[in-house]
A and B are shown apart, each in its own frame.
Chain A
Amino acid sequence: AQSVTQLGSHVSVSEGALVLLRCNYSSSVPPYLFWYVQYPNQGLQLLLKYTSAATLVKGINGFEAEFKKSETSFHLTKPSAHMSDAAEYFCAVISGNTPLVFGKGTRLSVIA
């Protein structure tokens, strides 16, 4: 069965600093991997999706993630944090024909 581990339930960065949110997955077959973002009092929105077409995936709002099979990782990055990036971020994995499995989330705070 697949699983996802997000390292750090809370990450705090200064405005303009690099954002790095970590995600490691476990899957017995090649996975599909997703990052979603949740703003306060809203549902989740898709940031980006890995489908094996390219290991570096670009998403919305300047975010990108790199799939590293050897490290079973799919970390999310953004070169320069903006105040509007403050939200909760979820990594999720699918492998085979089973439904999406979400990590427990990382709350990103951006300090002015």
Chain B
Amino acid sequence: NAGVTQTPKFQVLKTGQSMTLQCAQDMNHNSMYWYRQDPGMGLRLIYYSASEGTTDKGEVPNGYNVSRLNKREFSLRLESAAPSQTSVYFCASSASGHNQPQHFGDGTRLSIL
């Protein structure tokens, strides 16, 4: 069972470049989430999609955009990467409702020079 798949696993960008992080889940979940993880900061929510066709801002949305392409896929785009966006990015999915357990991908490690 694949669960939540994130691509790529690693990426190095230069300041100002753009990039899309991909996420797909095969558990027929309605809700999907993007987080960033920084040392000592825990996980912070960037954007989420409660269901197909809807997206909402989380705690740290600035500098990011998202697309819920279909029920399976939820992408995160950096239009003009900045060094402050160097982080590990996690995608997660859950059944409907924020009180359902979330299933996480293995992360994308992004460095911006």
Contact = CB atoms under 8 A, between A and B. Distances in A.
Interface residues of B, number: 21
B7 to A, nearest CB: 14
A49 B100 CA distance: 9
Given A94-B99, A97-B98, A99-B58, A43 B40 contact: no
A95 B97 CA distance: 11
B48 interface: yes
B61 interface: no
Interface of B: 4, 33, 40-45, 48, 58, 90, 92, 98-99, 101-107
Given A99-B33, A104-B42, A43 B107 contact: yes
Nearest to A45: B104
Contacts of B45: 99-101
6 nearest interchain CB pairs?
Answer: A43-B104, A104-B42, A32-B99, A102-B43, A102-B42, A46-B101
A16 B3 CA distance: 33
Contacts of A51: 99
B43 to A, nearest CB: 4
Contact of A44 (B40, B44, B48, B104): B104
